[in-house]
């Protein structure tokens, strides 16, 4: 096959959850540039309207939905509408996610549940909603945005690590259960990426000095830099395209090497 066709998403419909900004926006933009018809969702009307303008400014005709991915009825209504208007969803990127940085013994069960609901249960709901058409058509791509915390823990992120660890195993299980229908389910595990979600970890101190966590990550990362959503777009297009048809249940870590290293000696 001609190599560029292998990575083409022409004629495919891609749905990226939580893609009003951040990593989701970067991945969604790349999938559209690779030829996909782009659909995205978020919870906020304000974020949706701003995102539609941002996509249009990049020459992308995106279709946006207000949908809270933790609400099964909203998910099912969104998927039904997309399938009615655009046909099947060929590519689903489960990107929507939150983090709460609270010491576990200070975290309420409601706070724990909210993170699990968005970062893990929502990917179950979204995947369950798109799989029937993928099974019927005998093809589909599901990409779950995991994390380094799918592999490692750290203080204050117990709910997030539990969710992302579960998302890694949900990814493997969808691959195991539906691979026979030519459906590939893989994960992308970003390292530390500069977005709104990690902004508190990079904020300069009052005296203008680097945040200690910022210095910690730079010392731990062989690439000696924070990633950006642009570092994730190649892996996303690869996992969304025919180029990865024999890759299934894999978590592709895009982390500047941080998971490979114990960190620099002092
Ligand atoms: P972000 O800037 O906070 O963006 C999160 C997105 O998710 C927003 O568009 C938000 O939109 C949406 N969202 C949150 N809850 C939602 C819900 N219930 N329903 C629908 N949309 C929802 O975060 P990010 O850094 O881009 O992270 C995106 C994904 O990458 C997350 O899964 C995160 O865990 C993962 N990740 C991030 C990093 C990193 O270093 N940044 C590293 C590894 C993995 P609304 O609030 O408007 O709904
Ligand atoms: C944190 C960060 C991380 C990143 C990412 C790393 O507080 O440790 O937010 O969790 O978001 O998940 O892969």
- pLDDT tens-place values along the chain, 266 residues long: 788 899 999 999 999 999 999 999 999 999 999 999 999 999 999 999 999 999 999 999 999 999 999 999 999 999 999 999 999 999 999 999 999 999 999 999 999 999 999 999 999 999 999 999 999 999 999 999 999 999 999 999 999 999 999 999 999 999 999 999 999 999 999 999 999 999 999 999 999 998 999 999 999 999 999 999 999 999 999 999 999 999 999 999 999 999 999 998 88
Hey, what are 79's tokens? 């998927």
Would you say 94 and 17 are in contact if contact means Cβ atoms under 8 Å apart? yes
Task: Write down the pLDDT at residue 170.
Answer: 99
Would you say 149 and 98 are in contact if contact means Cβ atoms under 8 Å apart? no
Work out which ligand 1 atom sits closest to the CA atom of 46: 47
Task: Write down the pLDDT at residue 132.
Answer: 98
- The bound ligand whose nearest atom lies closest to the alpha carbon of 102 is 2
Task: Write down the pLDDT at residue 243.
Answer: 98
Q: Catalytic pick from 160, 178, 192, 253?
A: 160
For the sheet with 183-190, list strands across it: 63-66, 37-42, 13-17, 91-94, 140-145, 183-190, 251-254
Task: Kindly report whether the global pTM for this prediction surpasses the value 0.85.
Answer: yes
Task: Write down the pLDDT at residue 266.
Answer: 80
152 lines ligand 2 (CB under 6 A): no
- β partners of residue 64: 40
Task: Write down the pLDDT at residue 2.
Answer: 87
Task: Write down the pLDDT at residue 4.
Answer: 87
140 lines ligand 2 (CB under 6 A): no
Task: Write down the pLDDT at residue 1.
Answer: 76
Task: Write down the pLDDT at residue 138.
Answer: 98
118 lines ligand 1 (CB under 6 A): yes
Give catalytic status of residue 21 as yes or no.
no
């Amino acid at each position: 096959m001609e190599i560029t066709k292998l990575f083409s998403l022409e004629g495919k419909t891609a749905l990226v959850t939580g893609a009003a900004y951040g990593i989701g926006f970067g991945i969604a933009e790349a999938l559209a540039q690779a030829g996909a018809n782009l659909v995205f969702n978020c919870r906020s009307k304000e974020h949706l309207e701003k995102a539609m303008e941002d996509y249009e400014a990049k020459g992308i005709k995106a279709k946006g939905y207000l949908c809270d991915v933790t609400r099964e009825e909203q998910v099912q209504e969104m998927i039904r509408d997309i399938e009615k208007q655009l046909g099947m969803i060929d590519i689903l990127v489960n990107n929507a996610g939150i983090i709460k940085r609270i010491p576990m013994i200070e975290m309420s069960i409601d706070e724990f549940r909210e993170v699990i609901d968005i970062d893990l249960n929502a990917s179950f709901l979204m995947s369950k909603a798109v799989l029937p058409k993928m099974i019927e058509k005998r093809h589909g791509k599901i990409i779950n945005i995991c994390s380094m915390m799918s592999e490692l823990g750290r203080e204050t992120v117990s709910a997030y690590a539990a969710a992302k660890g579960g998302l890694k195993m949900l990814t493997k299980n969808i691959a195991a259960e539906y691979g026979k229908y030519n459906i590939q389910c893989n994960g992308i595990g970003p390292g530390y990426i500069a977005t709104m979600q990690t902004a508190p970890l990079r904020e300069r101190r009052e005296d203008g000095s680097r945040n200690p966590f910022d210095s910690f990550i730079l010392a731990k990362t062989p690439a000696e830099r924070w990633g950006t959503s642009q570092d994730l777009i190649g892996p996303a297009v690869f996992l969304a395209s025919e180029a990865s048809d024999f890759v299934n249940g894999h978590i592709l870590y895009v982390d500047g090497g941080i998971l490979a290293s114990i960190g620099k000696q002092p």
